[in-house]
Amino acid sequence: MHPTTPELGQGGCMALEDAVVLGRHIGNSLDPNGKLRPGDIGRALGKYAGERRWRTAWIIAGSYLSGWVQQDGSGWWMKFLRDLFYKTIQTRVISLVHYDCGRLPNRMGTSL
């Protein structure tokens, strides 16, 4: 449930990122026998939410800003904002799409 716009094309990618990050936190919660200890799911979900909260907020804000700037409007103010966006801000917004989800733990005790 990521309300991103198509300008950055990150909706599907964020869903995959979420799956990997959540899997990593749940996988790290398992004991050596592969069983969950009491309360570990809650801690894993809390860590997941804390890690994903700001990334999701910045992607949504960047998508909104990117779409808003590209909307119709030909006044001098909108042209100025569009020029400013494409020359400076767009590079920062585009840099948001590069994200390392981390490594998933496996049953052998090493990371994949």
User: Does any domain span residue 62?
Assistant: yes
Q: What is the pTM of this model?
A: 0.71
User: Does any domain span residue 108?
Assistant: no
- The predicted-structure confidence for 9-22, as pLDDT tens digits, reads as follows 666 778 888 889 99
- The predicted-structure confidence for 62-90, as pLDDT tens digits, reads as follows 777 777 777 767 777 878 877 887 777 77
User: Does any domain span residue 74?
Assistant: yes
d(CA 81, CA 40): 47
Q: Residue 40's domain spans which residues?
A: 34-98
Count the alpha carbons within 13 Å of 7 in the hemisphere toward its beta carbon.
20
User: Cα 52–54–55 angle (5° rounding)?
Assistant: 65
Count of the separate structural domains present in the chain: 1
User: Does any domain span residue 12?
Assistant: no
User: Does any domain span residue 25?
Assistant: no
User: Does any domain span residue 9?
Assistant: no
d(CA 4, CA 96): 13
- The predicted-structure confidence for 34-67, as pLDDT tens digits, reads as follows 788 778 889 999 999 998 888 888 888 877 777 7
User: Does any domain span residue 13?
Assistant: no
User: Does any domain span residue 57?
Assistant: yes
Residues facing residue 30 across a β-bridge:
36
d(CA 50, CA 112): 23
